[in-house]
Every structure is written in C-alpha cells, then in structure tokens.
Amino acid sequence: MSNHKQISETIAQRLNRIVESETIAMAKLGRALAAEGKPIINLSFGEPDFRTPDHIKQAAIDAINQNFTYYTPVAGIPDLKEAVKLKFKRDNNLEYNTDQIVVSTGAKNSIMNTVLALVNPGDEVIIPQPYWVSYSDMVNLAEGVCVFINTSIDEHYKITPQQLEEAITPKTKLFMFSSPNNPSGMIYNESELKAFAEVFERHPHVYILSDEIYEHINFNEKHYSIANYGTLINRTITVNGVSKAFSMTGWRIGYIGAPKEIAFACEKLQSQFTSGTNSIAQKAAIAALLGVMQPTYDMRTAFHSRRDLCYNLLKDVEGIKLLNPDGAFYLFPDISHFIGKSYKNYTIHNSQDLCMYILNEFYVVTVAGSAFGNDHCIRLSYATNEDNLTIAINRIKEALSLLK
C-alpha cells in the first residue's frame, strides 16, 4: 500500500513522519476494484449515507443567491459563532464566548490546528488506543511524541483513571480522545469522565482535546462533555462539527470551543493556511445547528437498527469477539483468532492481511485495526443500507469460515 513507501528526496522530510489516512486508502482500493466491475460493498466509510436535510441545503442555496460568496472572518462568521455558542450551551451546558470559538474546514482541520497550536517538538500527547486514525499522524507532524494507552475488548476499549494518571509525565502537553469513539463505538459515561477530571485536576499542565463529533449518534444515555467538570473548561478544547450529526461530510465545517489564547492561536494558523472556511457552508451550518433536529434523530434511529442487525449477524461467528457499541456507526470485532490461519495463497499475519483477503476474495472493504492502533481488530462501518450490510457481513462470515 502507498502508506509505507519511502518518500523521495524531492519531498520534505516531514512527510516521512505521516502516512496516508488508511481509511481513505482503503476506500480508494475499493473504488478501483469497483471500476473493474467487482461487486464491491464498502464498509470503510466514515460518513453517514443519508442526504443533507433540505432546510440546510436551502440555506446554502439562499447564500449563493444572495452572493454570500466572499472571504469571511477567519474564525467564522459572527452569526455562526453565535449559533455554535448557543449549541454548546444548549446541548453541552458549556459556556464558551464567541471569542473562544473557531470555525474550521471540518473537525479534522480543527484538531490539526489545535495540535499545531499546542504541541512543541518532544511534547508528549497521551492517546488511548484505539484512536481515530489521524490523531497519531497529526501529533507526528507537529513533532510531538505519542504516548499510547492500550486497551482491549476485555476492558471495553476504555482506559481507567489509574492508567491515565500513570501515563502523565512532566512532558505531557495534551490528552486527546473521542467519545463516542471511532473506531470502537464506546462512550465514556458521566462518572468515568468525572474520574478523569479528578486526575486532570492533579496535573494542571495537561490540556484536553475532547473530540465529540459523534455526540448525536449515541444509542443509550445522554452525551457528556468533559469540559463540564471541575475547572477543565479552562484547558479543554471541545471539538465538534456538522459532518456526522447532519450528514454534511462534504460541506467541511468543524469548530472548537477553547480557552481564548488557544482559540486565537488556531485563528492565527488558519489566517495563513485557509483564510477561514467556505462562506456558503457556514450559512448552511447555521441552519443545521439552529434548525429542527428531527432528521438527526431519524438518522440515529436508522443507525441503531443497523447496529442491531450487524451485531446480531456477527456476534455468534466462531472466533469473533465483539462488543455491542453504544454509539458512532462502527463495529470493531477482535479477529485475533484468525491470525496465523490460511486460505489459498493468503496467510493472515495481521489485521491488514485479513482486510486485504476479505477485499480481494469477497469484495468487502473494511479497515485494518492497526490504523487505529489495535492490530487485533478490523473496523466495519454500518453507514450503508441494511441489504448491503446483510450481504457484506455474510460474505465476511464465509471468508472467515474458510480460514484454517
């Protein structure tokens, strides 16, 4: 795969510190096979397969018709920042002023800004595994040092306050996590977040990046934000966006609520990198944040029923260990049982081998757990319709049953 190629002398050294996003690389491979006419089903996508709701699209059409097509203030238009402020208060009980809010080109851009704004070369960044695919590369790009905390399916992919405390050193600058989590789908509940907050109160030099992009795709209890506890609002960067909640991945709007100094640093970076995000998409994001939430709730209901379908299809497969996720739209089965097994000319040494076998022989695109820091698992996205999911999972079952 392109990921581990040595980069030529033409390309700057810093590019050697990162790899192409594995989820994007797998989707590319899937598209190439589909173009050859193979009956590909793609379970690699990290995006809802629903339409952006009409009232949001209409706001963008209106923006174009009103010639709202010029550069905007770098950190976002005032009415969008006001909408984000309201949203933080309404949904998360967080009081961020508009000068603490920066709107960016997707949550990915928000996270990269934050990492570049905070992390000096050699600074340690604590990341629980499994983590969203880009976290480690972003830290590497900033020349930070990733300090991973391992978890496994037996701990429900959750870290404990003790593990967190043990990972903190005088060099720790940042702790980054997502809840609901991509790829595991697990969610930290209120008491777990409070326990982390108690640890952070003892270590006031550590900043916290709380990635809450899957906030609304949550099947059980209410969503909680870590910035609510103790004094953490003063050093938490709360990241969110419209991609997952409103099926707006292509619109590229993310945002942060952060201490003023950090928000200003992100704005400064953005003033040189992007000049702020798309004017039309910003108007659409206002409609999303302030408009009716029913389309989001309907989407969540659909994800819930797909989660049940996929979980039930996979849970009894011999050799698979599986959790029933609380949120997001992924399953993260443990496939350790199949390591060392073979079929035809395939021998499975790791999660990547298993994904390539399933792709090449059974035409289902999945993503190796190694991309998320856990080589015992693979990630399946259920952001596709139930017929596709049923066919794809049955193909995966057949693939696994042939491995001896």
Ligand X SMILES: Cc1ncc(COP(=O)(O)O)c(C=O)c1O
Beta carbon nearer to ligand X, 104 or 352: 104
Determine contact, residues 101/285, Cβ cutoff 8 Å. Answer: no
If one asks whether residue 367 binds ligand X (CB under 6 A), the answer comes out as no
Part in contact with ligand X (CB under 6 A); list of ranges 63-71, 105-113, 278-286, 296-304: 105-113
Residue nearest to ligand X (CB): 106
| 299 backbone dihedrals φ, ψ, rounded to 5° | -65, -40
Q: How far is the CB of 111 from ligand X (least distance, A)?
A: 6
Classify residue 6 by its DSSP letter. P
Q: Binding marks (x or -) toward ligand X, 245..284, rule CB under 6 A? A: ----x----x------------------------------
Part in contact with ligand X (CB under 6 A); list of ranges 33-41, 101-109, 144-152, 306-314: 101-109
Beta carbon nearer to ligand X, 241 or 333: 241
Q: Which of 85, 108, 283, 300 binds ligand X (CB under 6 A)?
A: 108
Count of chain residues binding ligand X (CB under 6 A):
13
Q: Which of 19, 30, 46, 338 binds ligand X (CB under 6 A)?
A: 46
* DSSP 3-state of 233: helix
- Which residue carries 């700057």 as its tokens? 12
The C-alpha atoms of residue 375 and residue 153 are separated, in whole angstroms, by 12
Q: How far is the CB of 404 from ligand X (least distance, A)?
A: 35
Binding positions for ligand X, 196-235, rule CB under 6 A: 211, 213
3-state class percentages of the chain: helix first, strand second, coil last, to nearest 5: 45, 15, 40
If one asks whether residue 179 binds ligand X (CB under 6 A), the answer comes out as no
- Which residue carries 């695919």 as its tokens? 133
Measured CA to CA in angstroms, residue 368 lies from 18, 21, 287, 372, 376 at distances of 17, 12, 36, 8, 9
Residue 28: is it exposed, middle or buried by C-beta count within 10 angstroms (0-12/13-18/19+)? Answer: middle
Q: How far is the CB of 183 from ligand X (least distance, A)?
A: 8
If one asks whether residue 334 binds ligand X (CB under 6 A), the answer comes out as no
* DSSP 3-state of 50: coil
Interface residues with ligand X (CB under 6 A)?
Answer: 46, 106-108, 132, 178, 182, 211, 213, 241, 243, 249, 254
